[in-house]
Structure formats: structure tokens, C-alpha cells
């Protein structure tokens, strides 16, 4: 019989896997990138207690029963709802950024409690996203969620146009559009309640026509102060303020 190697909750290794049908399913096979991470980075052994995540919001405590060359088998001993998922539904929409800045925004959005993340192209955007980059962004989301102890990784989606991105936020109660050339905010972030969709542009910002489009789609223009912020700073700042207003950072 394998004796479990007990660790503190914060010290337990966390790994994403496919949907788990527990309690009917009690054994899970971990393979691919997550197995490589478990074996070569986290150095789990037979008997190690780990946490399995399947994006359901549940956390499955399991004991590693067997390690092969390309996979490991873990036996689930307990399942419980994760305690660190945000109560507020916050949707961050960010223009594609140059270099690895989009990855930084995705990482911090996960830590701050975003429920969903969209990356889009706009008139002044000079970066682009392809399938490989989108896959990479979703991997960053999963890794960030493991680090900050979340149970569900926000999906990162891609829109080729700002119009499509704005349309995807149609049903949100609060819709905020950060725009560098407006001087007065059209909504008081401190008084918002319910779900929120927040939009920040790329390094080039937005055009007057794009601002008008956002207004027609039901968004309120928001200023982030008298200083011009870098795009990644603007995204992280607006998300932080919104999360605080909705009670996520209290």
C-alpha cells in the first residue's frame, strides 16, 4: 500500500486534467504537459498528495498511486468546492500587446479574479494572435491559477475585431471602456454592482470611431487619470479597481 506524503494545503501540487466524474470515477491518469510538470518540475513521487483541477470549480485531493514513463495515476480521496474563486463575474477585454505583455496581463488578471479574458485586434493595434499564441495564453492562465490557488482557469478567447469583442459582452450589467482621450468618466466605478465587462486598448489606444462604437454598444467611457498609462498598466489597474468595487479585494 502506498503511504501518502501529506503536505499543507498551500504546499500541495496542483494540476489540471480533463473533466472528472467523481465519485463514480476515482482514478485519474495525468499525462502530457501536466505530467511532465509533475515529474520533472514538482518531482512528485508515489504517495505524494496532490490537487487535481478540472475547471468545474471543485478541487480533488488525490494520492499518486503509480508513475510510468509518460503518465501517472492518482487515486482521488476527497472532493470539495474551491474557496478562492471570485464571486463577481468580471470580463477583461484587452487589445493585443507586443512581446510578452499580453501574457503578463493574463497572468495578473487570473490573480485578480477575472472570470473570462478576451484579446482583440483594433485600429491602432500592431500585435497579432495566432492559434499557437492563443494556446500559450491559455497555458499561462492555467499556470497562474495554480500559483494563486484558484480552482478554475479563465478561458482566454481571441476576436479579430473590436466590434466582435464588444458584442461578446452584451449581457454584462456594467460595461466600462477605458479611453485615454476622454477627460471625465461617464460611470462611477465605486458604485457598480453585479457583473462587469471592462475594455482596455493596445499600445496605440483607441480611435474616436472606436469610442463611438463602444458607446453605441452600451459601454461607458472611463478615464484612468491625467497620466498616460502603459497598456498593461491600464489593464491591471482597471481590473484591480473594478475587483475592489465588487468586493473581490476586501
- 56-87 pLDDT, tens digit per residue, is 999 999 999 999 999 999 999 999 999 999 99
| Cell matching residue 157 | 478567447
From residue 79, alpha-carbon distances to 12, 63, 206 in Å are 14, 12, 46
pLDDT over 50 at 174, yes or no: yes
* Of the candidates 111, 116, 59, the residue with the CA atom closest to the CA atom of residue 89: 116
pLDDT (mean) for 83-96: 97
User: Can you give the residue ranges of every domain in the chain?
Assistant: 9-81, 90-245
Q: Is the dihedral of CA 86, 88, 89, 93 positive or negative?
A: negative
Q: For residue 63, what are the β-bridge partners?
A: 49, 75
C-alpha 211/C-alpha 155 separation (Å) is: 26
**Residue 70's pLDDT is what?**
94
* Of the candidates 51, 32, 45, the residue with the CA atom closest to the CA atom of residue 2: 45
Compute the C-alpha angle 35/40/41, nearest 5°.
95
CATH 3.40.1360.10 fits 9-81, yes or no: no
From residue 203, alpha-carbon distances to 53, 62, 101, 220 in Å are 35, 44, 10, 20
| Cell matching residue 169 | 459582452
Q: Are strands 90-95 and 116-120 parallel, antiparallel or unpaired?
A: parallel
**Residue 250's pLDDT is what?**
84
**Residue 210's pLDDT is what?**
98
pLDDT over 90 at 131, yes or no: yes
pLDDT (mean) for 1-11: 45
Average pLDDT, rounded, for the chain? 93
pLDDT (mean) for 30-41: 92
Q: Would you tell me which CATH number, out of the four given (3.90.420.10, 3.40.50.850, 3.50.50.60, 3.40.1280.10), belongs to the domain 90-245?
A: 3.40.1280.10
pLDDT (mean) for 117-144: 96
pLDDT over 70 at 100, yes or no: yes
Q: Is the dihedral of CA 188, 190, 195, 196 positive or negative?
A: positive
**Residue 34's pLDDT is what?**
94
Sorted by sequence, the CB contacts under 8 Å of residue 173 that are 6+ apart come out as 192, 193, 194, 195, 196
pLDDT (mean) for 130-155: 96
pLDDT over 60 at 9, yes or no: no
Amino acid at each position: 500500500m502506498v503511504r501518502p506524503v501529506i503536505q499543507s494545503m498551500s504546499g500541495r501540487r496542483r494540476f489540471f486534467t480533463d473533466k472528472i466524474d467523481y465519485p463514480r470515477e476515482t482514478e485519474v491518469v495525468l499525462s502530457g504537459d501536466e505530467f511532465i510538470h509533475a515529474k520533472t518540475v514538482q518531482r512528485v513521487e508515489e504517495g505524494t498528495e496532490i490537487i487535481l483541477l478540472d475547471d468545474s470549480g471543485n478541487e480533488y485531493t488525490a494520492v499518486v498511486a503509480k508513475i510510468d514513463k509518460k503518465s501517472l495515476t492518482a487515486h482521488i480521496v476527497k472532493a470539495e468546492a474551491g474557496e478562492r474563486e471570485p464571486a463577481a463575474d468580471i470580463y477583461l477585454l484587452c487589445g493585443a500587446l507586443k512581446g510578452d505583455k499580453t501574457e503578463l496581463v493574463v497572468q495578473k488578471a487570473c490573480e485578480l479574479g477575472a472570470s473570462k479574458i478576451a484579446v482583440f485586434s483594433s485600429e491602432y493595434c500592431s500585435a497579432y494572435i495566432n492559434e499557437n499564441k492563443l494556446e500559450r495564453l491559455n497555458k499561462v492562465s492555467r499556470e497562474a491559477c495554480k500559483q494563486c490557488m484558484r480552482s478554475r482557469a479563465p478561458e482566454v478567447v481571441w476576436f479579430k475585431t473590436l466590434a466582435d469583442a464588444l458584442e461578446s459582452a452584451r449581457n454584462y450589467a456594467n460595461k466600462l471602456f477605458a479611453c485615454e482621450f476622454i477627460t471625465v468618466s461617464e460611470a462611477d466605478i465605486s458604485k457598480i454592482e453585479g457583473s462587469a465587462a471592462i475594455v482596455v486598448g493596445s499600445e496605440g489606444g483607441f480611435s474616436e470611431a472606436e469610442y463611438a462604437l463602444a458607446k453605441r454598444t452600451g459601454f461607458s467611457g472611463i478615464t484612468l487619470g491625467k497620466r498616460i498609462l502603459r497598456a498593461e498598466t491600464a489593464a491591471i489597474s482597471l481590473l484591480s479597481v473594478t475587483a475592489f468595487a465588487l468586493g473581490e479585494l476586501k
